[in-house]
Amino acid sequence: MNPLTEALLTFVGQAAVDLLMWSWQAFVLLACVWAGLKLFRVRTPELRQHLWFISLLAVLTLPLWPKSTLPQRQLRNGAALN
């Protein structure tokens, strides 16, 4: 396998993983919005449309969002002590 093919395959593989991750995120987000709309019985079509619009916009822009800073354990090393 030449380097170009290898690089292409790596890129394609990563793109597929990103796409799957994006789909999963979209699924969770839209399911929550759907449940919220059902639960709170929003009666006005215009408001419902706005909420769907925000949700779809969020889905579309998800890959561009900055990564959240939820606490993650850093890899420890001995240098921290010594």
Q: Which positions touch another protein (CB under 8 A)?
A: 9, 12-21, 23, 25-34, 36, 43-60, 62, 65-70, 72, 75-82
Minimum CB distance to another protein, residue 3 (Å): 15
Task: Give the long-range contacts of residues 39-44, CB within 8 A, separation 24 or more.
Answer: none
Which ranges constitute the DSSP H helices of 1-82?
A: 3-40, 45-61
Minimum CB distance to another protein, residue 41 (Å): 13
CB atoms within 10 A of CB 40: 9
Q: Which is nearer to another protein, 4 or 69 (CB)?
A: 69
Q: Please give the radius of gyration of the chain, using alpha carbons only, rounded to the nearest integer.
A: 20
Minimum CB distance to another protein, residue 77 (Å): 5
